[in-house]
């Protein structure tokens, strides 16, 4: 399993199992880091006003919280402020309103985090107003770069920083480290306390958990479990999370609540929660985020149900290689989540649209291996705007172009997609037997945490296992297993697989699963989280 993850020597394995902060790269290896630090220190000496600007998602709000708190600790708080654009009024990235706010309030330096690399014209306008920009971004740059004083982005062609997959908060964190070093401030006191926020951004932004991201996530989780920031502590308390916190807790419990602020209302309160000076204050904002998330879940659930019904009632939709759905009343903040849910159900490139003023806007999600952005780009004549990447995108179009776009997108997908791409694939790490499933083995697997892209939780296959006769449906949708192989019995759960009980009862099956620890009535045992199963071959 280590070899499959590119770990082929003792030293590689040691670095993987015992990630050390000392292995983090020097921030000075990043192109323009010296310029960024010099410009900020100049602002300090000349008592300039600095605005910390970030996107409205988890990566953006954690970036802003880290940078703003660091600057408050090393500069005059009265000269600092932060700005998060409103998702619906201003849209993604640098906005005219944000620059106007900076100009009207006398800010002469903007530190942009998790955005800015594509904002060429707006940064030119700011420059003409006497406002300098430092851009900290991780999105792929275009040929033309904005005229910023410094651009920190490892994905620039001429940036020789050794690790290319930092998230926006990770890039901002490297700037914090460089500023701390230059001012002879202790990293332990002035940078590393933010690692739980950096780990949250890594988890939420679905960047590879390899190399430097693995070190940051590993130590961020240690921070979250020992001395979390007040905002993370408040969300953990509200969501009923028990320690130890793992990456999946950040992905499924913390991140949705932070993202919900921007989806349903204003993401500024996420930053207010992260920078709160007391747990009471953090809890005040966390409760708002919690309420936004409840609202988001309700909208997401009802729209997904409505969308699934539209597909179920249309043979034409079911026979297509793509799915494009539109309803004017659907909430703009959840169409991306709904697109993801539909992709899980029907496994085809999916676009979900809603009415947004005079235009239609929406989100697209892909299936593994299919370049969604390329297919949307092929239909650009019908669009007012679009952007995104291989797996996800956003787009806007005029209402009268909807049918033409839907047909063009179907043609673009049908001509490019391979039949195999429309069948979800489970990648199996190893075939093992029930006798191999022992606590010492599980404990070693746990040391492979944190799991995530390019270091996924191991998936195992066991063949010819039998139902012992006690397997049953629980809560109408899920399947509780009692399975046996060679006189060894294990229990397990499969979510959403209740309909497959008859298949299990017919005879031996091959199962694919994750291993999990189960604690019940003071006893600890291992159980299986079954992902899928099929009849065994004779």
CA 508-510-512 angle, to 5 degrees, is 145
DSSP tag of 401: G
pLDDT at 507: 85
How far is Cα 312 from Cα 328, in angstroms, rounded to an integer?
20
Token representation of residue 9: 């020597």
Contact indicator for 372, 393 with CB cutoff of 8 Å: yes
Token representation of residue 137: 């971004």
Among 153, 158, 126, CA closest to 140: 153
Query: For every one of its 538 residues, what pLDDT tens digit does the chain have, with 9 covering 90 and above?
Result: 999 999 999 999 999 999 999 999 999 999 999 999 999 999 999 999 999 999 999 999 999 999 999 999 999 999 999 999 998 888 888 999 999 999 999 999 999 999 999 899 999 999 999 999 999 999 889 899 999 999 999 999 999 999 999 999 999 999 999 999 999 999 999 999 999 999 999 999 889 999 999 999 999 999 999 999 999 999 999 988 887 899 999 999 999 999 999 999 899 999 999 999 999 999 999 999 999 999 999 999 999 999 999 999 999 999 999 999 999 999 999 999 999 999 999 999 999 999 999 999 999 999 999 999 999 999 999 999 888 788 888 999 999 999 999 999 999 999 999 999 999 999 999 999 999 999 999 999 999 999 999 999 999 999 999 999 999 999 999 999 999 999 999 999 999 999 999 999 998 999 999 999 988 888 889 999 999 999 999 7
Among 444, 437, 421, CA closest to 491: 437
Q: Does 524 sit behind a cis peptide bond, omega within 30 degrees of 0 on the bond before it?
A: no
Residue 501, class by beta-carbon neighbours within 10 Å (0-12 exposed, 13-18 middle, 19+ buried)?
middle
Contact indicator for 451, 355 with CB cutoff of 8 Å: no
Distance linking the first and last C-alpha atoms of the chain: 28
* CATH topology match: 314-422 vs 430-535: no
Domain ranges of the chain: 27-290, 314-422, 430-535
Rg (CA), the chain: 25
Token representation of residue 185: 């401030």
SS3 assignment, position 465: strand
Domain 430-535 falls under CATH 2.40.50.460: yes
Cα-Cα-Cα-Cα dihedral sign, residues 197, 201, 203, 204 = positive
Residues linked to residue 535 through DSSP beta bridges, in sequence order? 509
Contact indicator for 126, 133 with CB cutoff of 8 Å: yes
Domain 314-422 falls under CATH 3.90.1150.10: no
- Give the distance from CA 227 to its chain's centroid: 23
Single pTM value for the model: 0.92
Domain 27-290 falls under CATH 3.90.1640.30: yes
Among 450, 25, 457, 6, CA closest to 214: 450
How far is Cα 391 from Cα 204, in angstroms, rounded to an integer?
15
């Amino acid at each position: 399993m280590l070899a499959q993850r590119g770990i082929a020597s003792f030293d590689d394995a040691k670095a993987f199992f015992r990630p050390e902060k000392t292995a983090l790269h020097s921030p000075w290896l990043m192109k323009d880091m010296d310029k960024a630090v010099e410009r900020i220190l100049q602002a300090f000496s000349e008592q300039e006003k600095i605005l910390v600007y970030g996107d409205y998602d988890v990566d953006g709000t954690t970036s802003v919280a880290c940078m703003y708190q660091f600057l408050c600790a090393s500069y005059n708080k009265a000269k600092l402020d932060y700005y998060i654009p409103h998702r619906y009024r201003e849209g993604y990235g640098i906005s005219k309103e944000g620059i106007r706010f900076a100009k009207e309030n006398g800010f002469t330096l903007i530190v942009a985090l998790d955005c800015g690399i594509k904002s060429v014209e707006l940064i030119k306008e700011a420059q003409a107003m006497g406002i300098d920009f430092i851009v900290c971004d991780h999105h792929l740059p275009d040929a033309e770069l904005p005229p910023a004083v410094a651009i920190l982005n490892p994905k620039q062609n001429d940036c020789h920083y050794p690790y290319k997959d930092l998230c926006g908060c990770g890039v901002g964190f490297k700037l914090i480290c460089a500023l701390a070093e230059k001012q002879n401030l202790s990293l332990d006191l002035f940078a590393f306390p933010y690692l739980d926020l950096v780990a949250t951004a890594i988890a939420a932004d679905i960047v590879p958990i390899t190399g430097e991201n693995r070190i940051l996530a590993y130590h961020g989780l240690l921070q979250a479990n020992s001395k979390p920031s007040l905002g993370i502590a408040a969300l953990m308390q509200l969501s009923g999370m028990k320690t130890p916190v793992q990456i999946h807790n950040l992905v499924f419990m913390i991140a949705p609540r932070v993202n919900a602020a921007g989806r349903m209302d204003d993401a500024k309160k996420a930053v207010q929660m992260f920078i709160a000076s007391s747990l009471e204050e953090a809890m005040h904002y966390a409760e708002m985020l919690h309420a936004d998330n409840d609202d988001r879940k309700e909208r997401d659930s009802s729209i997904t149900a409505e969308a699934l019904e539209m597909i179920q009632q249309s043979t034409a939709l079911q026979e297509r290689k793509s799915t494009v759905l539109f309803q004017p009343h659907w909430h703009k903040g959840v169409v991306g989540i709904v697109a993801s849910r539909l992709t899980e159900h029907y496994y085809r490139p999916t676009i979900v649209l809603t009415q947004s003023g005079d235009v239609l806007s929406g989100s697209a999600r892909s299936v593994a291996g299919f370049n969604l952005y390329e297919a949307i780009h092929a239909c650009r004549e019908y669009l007012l705007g679009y952007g995104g990447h291989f797996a996800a995108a956003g787009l806007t179009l005029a209402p009268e172009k909807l049918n033409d776009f839907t047909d063009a997108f179907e043609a673009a997908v049908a001509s490019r997609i391979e039949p195999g791409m429309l069948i979800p694939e489970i990648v199996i790490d190893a075939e093992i037997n029930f006798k191999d499933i022992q606590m010492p083995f599980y404990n070693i697997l746990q040391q492979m945490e944190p799991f995530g892209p390019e270091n996924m939780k191991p998936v195992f296959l066991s063949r010819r296992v039998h139902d012992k006769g006690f397997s049953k449906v629980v809560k109408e949708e899920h399947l509780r297993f009692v399975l046996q192989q060679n006189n060894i019995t294990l229990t397990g759960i499969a979510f959403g697989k209740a309909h497959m009980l008859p298949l299990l009862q017919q005879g031996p099956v091959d199962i694919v699963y994750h291993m999990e620890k189960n604690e019940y009535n003071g006893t600890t045992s291992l159980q299986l989280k079954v992902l899928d199963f099929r009849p065994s071959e004779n």
